[in-house]
Amino acid sequence: MDYLSSLNPQQREAVECTEGPLMIIAGAGSGKTRVLTIRIAHLIHQKGVDPFQILSLTFTNKAASEMKQRIEKLIGLEARNTWMGTFHSVFAKILRVEAGKLGYPSNFTIYDTEDSKSLIRSIVKEKKLDDKVYKPNTVLSRISGAKNRLISWQTYLNDPYVRADDEAALKPKMGEIYKTYQERLFKSSAMDFDDLLFNTNVLFRDHPDILNKYQQRFRYVMVDEFQDTNLSQYLITKKLAAVHQNICVVGDDAQSIYAFRGADIQNILNFEKDYPDLRTVKLEQNYRSTKNIVHTANSIIAKNKAQLKKNIWTANDHGAPIELIKATSDNEEGRIVATTIFEEKNSLQLQNSDFAILYRTNSQSRAMEEALRKMNIAYRIVGGLSFYQRKEIKDLMAYLRFVVNPSDEEAFKRIVNYPKRGIGDTSVEKILVAAYEHDISIWEVITHASSFLSGRSASSLDDFSVMIRSFAMDMERKDAYEVASTVAKQSGILRELYEDKTIEGLNRYENVQELLNAIKEYVDSPENEIKTLGAFLQEIALLTDEDQNKNNQDVVTLMTIHASKGLEFKYVFVVGLEEDLFPSQMMMQSREDLEEERRLFYVATTRAMDRLYLSHAMTRYRYGRLLSCEPSRFLEELDPTYIKVNKKLGSSAASFQFPGREGNNGFVGLKRPAIREGITAKVHTPSPDFKPSNTNNLAEGMQVEHPKFGFGKVLKVETEGANRKASIHFDNFGDKTLLLSFAKLRIVE
């Protein structure tokens, strides 16, 4: 079996170095999975290691399954005896055996996220706490973060700094909820996902005999995607490898993009401190991408200070230059991307599955989806629902449908008690039964509520019907966007989503704003003569008709960059490269945040095999307004040697130029548009003590500091529904209007 001859020298070194601590720095496209697979096969086949003594930890079941299958092909069925799987699956297996030591039965239940949220809702209700303050998402996220840092509820309650944080966040009862949550889990003989790691740490800490048992069992410990481990995961693996010291970690610090899930890049950056005799092997040859793509990716990541230095290279062809697309709007950006896919596919006989569109936030899929539909190009959303199938979008669309057609039963059932207005399932059932028994429309029952219901339900239904009538009156004299904006605000949907400050909540709020943007674009388009809400709904109904073959796997892939990690495509479009979108406005509070965003950009570019397109729009609809957009700072950081500005597809692209010395195509470095005559934009470094202030009392005349725009003076503060905005004159950037729910401002005393 000559599997070693297929490896390059560095890959072979990583495979043959089996004893002692080893760190394999695996650059993008460097054949990491192949090396891991052959390394395990080598341990078993050449070194005679018992497969039961090998522990290999991954982050997805798919990765573990794929590796097992590959090892089986190399050495046969023995491969099945390795302990291989995700952290959660492997340690759940150990906990099943050792559960009695922690007071659990071996058949304990594992709660998923929805189970956990349901339990938290019950606890909040029992404690008579405000469920708008203690939202399940927020509470669960806080508890999860504590467990990942190995903070028990006892430590949580006794830590004055943690308590101070909760009080500052106006959630002083968080510790009590955590305590009750854990007690109820234990009483139910249940663990949540985070408990599987937390309790494994407790098991090894409190029972040295058990720890020793597994230390002896696992002579060889391997961890894939090591840059994505959190504190809890790292400590478990470190303890297990403490006796034999045969620990092999594989990863790439340049692809560490999951800090929001608790991943700690310091685990890989500081690994050598824990293992002074560490051997490091760098896999630097990229087998995936062209030279132009590899060099471009290198020029991006080189700007990060916190990194393990490596020189990624490839023997592949130079390939085509990276195409930079400048669109006038997000709508045009979608059209250009769809047109490019259509043309490349037909001229080069490519498949839809050769193409991927990557974006920073899920809400960006809307313009791409609509453009692809119009070109009749099949696609799928990965890691998320199609834009118009997302709950928050369906909720608002149901309101709009019911305003247009108050006989729409499905729309009625969806909206009558959302947001909650005291009309329960029993009342809804009575309304439906009454409509059927009296052979009248639901709307007739609703408008004569007191004849069919009594008490609070009848009163609430009367209020509901008055609200719908007012929306219907608006529809007779206003365009689709004006009506939809009114519905979104007065129905309470926007307020409900706005008050959820978790990442999921912010995404849902952004998605509803994106739907309003779509309606605004529809109204503003000269192609649409009729601007009514009914006309818009008809177009969307036709647009979203599921007439594509669901079994057809030849589809263009749309996904967030986070979801794309580990994948590869021949043609990749990275869209929405604009300031405050990518890098995200929420990730500019520190150099660490910004470097994570840059790593995310690096991950996006390294998904491409043959062609890479980067696009941005000059204007984008956000919050119902057409806003001017500034090109992302990341575009400035690209080495212009490998870039070509696309003049063919967008008329606006021809105006996009790289001023300076003549180089490739005469373009050198990206120049951002002038912000205002006579004002030069300078890079601002936030003050050392920069910390965003509470802007509830922000007033005209105050001096503020923004992490990107620097110092400025508040000109005006406006309130429009849930959206508080401030107009600020910045010394180096001129006038800016910022949405205060997202802007990070420090009020200067």
Write out the catalytic residue numbers. 32-33, 224-225, 255, 607
List the structure tokens of 449: 């509520």
| Residue 236 CB partners (closer than 8 Å, separation 6+) | 87, 91, 197, 200, 201, 204
Dihedral sign (CA 416, 417, 420, 425): positive
Rounded Cα distance between 94 and 426, Å, is 46
From the CA atom positions of the chain, what is the Rg in Å? 28
List the structure tokens of 553: 């796997």
Q: Cα-Cα-Cα-Cα dihedral of 581, 587, 589, 592, to 10°?
A: -130
Dihedral sign (CA 128, 129, 130, 135): negative
Do residues 82 and 51 make contact, with C-beta atoms less than 8 angstroms apart?
yes
What are the backbone dihedrals phi and psi of residue 559, each rounded to the nearest 5 degrees, phi first? Answer: -160, 160
List the structure tokens of 615: 């696009």
What are the backbone dihedrals phi and psi of residue 444, each rounded to the nearest 5 degrees, phi first? Answer: -65, -40
Rounded Cα distance between 113 and 222, Å, is 28
**Nearest Cα to 146, choosing from 109, 119, 104, 181?**
181
Q: Cα-Cα-Cα-Cα dihedral of 318, 320, 324, 327, to 10°?
A: -170
Rounded Cα distance between 437 and 455, Å, is 22
Rounded Cα distance between 204 and 221, Å, is 16
Task: For tokens 């608002």, name the residue.
Answer: 396
| Residue 188 CB partners (closer than 8 Å, separation 6+) | 109
Q: Could you count the other beta carbons within 10 Å of the beta carbon of residue 184?
A: 15
Do residues 24 and 283 make contact, with C-beta atoms less than 8 angstroms apart?
yes
List the structure tokens of 253: 């610090």
Rounded Cα distance between 88 and 109, Å, is 14
Do residues 327 and 648 make contact, with C-beta atoms less than 8 angstroms apart?
no
Do residues 705 and 711 make contact, with C-beta atoms less than 8 angstroms apart?
yes
| Residue 97 CB partners (closer than 8 Å, separation 6+) | 106
List the structure tokens of 681: 């934009």
Rounded Cα distance between 587 and 633, Å, is 13
List the structure tokens of 452: 């069919």
Rounded Cα distance between 460 and 711, Å, is 49
| Residue 712 CB partners (closer than 8 Å, separation 6+) | 703, 704, 705, 706, 728, 729, 730, 731, 733, 736
Rounded Cα distance between 127 and 184, Å, is 14
